[in-house]
Structure 1
Amino acid sequence: MKKNMGSADRIIRTIIAVVVGALYFTDVITGTLGLVLLILAVVFLLTSLVSYCPLYAPFGISTCKLKKEDS
């Protein structure tokens, strides 16, 4: 698996995941919407940890900066 997420992308996803988790566990968001957002937050957190987003691959998207040896 080649990394396709840059640092900024990973940080933003992690912040969103933490905020959604906090809102869910403090009962600010509840019900079906809360559960869907919590699942999305878990996916964001996992993709941030491995620096790979499977949805980026089919579209050829990469937020990583190119290294000098890659260009």
Structure 2
Amino acid sequence: MKANVGGMDRVLRNIVGVALIGATLAGWIGAWGWIGLLPLVTGVFRFCPAYLPFGLRTCERKRG
């Protein structure tokens, strides 16, 4: 599993994920807010399976 999420994409995913989960726990939104686990997990692990079919990467490629 190679990293394909990087930089600002990772930061935004983590912010959105935490915000949705926090809003759910606070009772501001319904149970659908648990969908925030998806961006949070993809941001933490730096891997998004939805990017694979399209060949997308938002992180720098290592030169070797």
TM-score by length of 1: 0.79
Q: What residue is the counterpart of 2:29 in the other structure?
A: 29
Quote how far apart the aligned CAs of 1:2 are. 1.1
Contact persistence 2:23–2:33 (CA under 8 A): no
Residue ranges of structure 1 left out of the alignment (5+ in a row): none
Higher Rg: 1
1:50 to 42, 45, 51: 45
In 1: Cα distance, 2:9 partner to 2:37 partner: 15
Query: 2: distance between equivalents of 1:17 and 1:50?
Result: 13
List 4+ stretches of structure 1 deviating above 6 A.
none
User: C-alpha separation between the residues in 1 aligned to 2:19 and 2:38?
Assistant: 14
Structure (1/2) with the larger helix percentage: 2
Structure 2: give runs of 5+ residues left out of the alignment: none
- Residue type of the partner of 2:54? F
Computed over aligned residues only, the root mean square deviation of the Cα atoms, in angstroms, reads 1.4
Residue identity (%): 33
TM-superposed CA distance for 1:43, in Å, is 1.3
**Matches of 1:36 and 1:23 in 2, distance apart?**
10
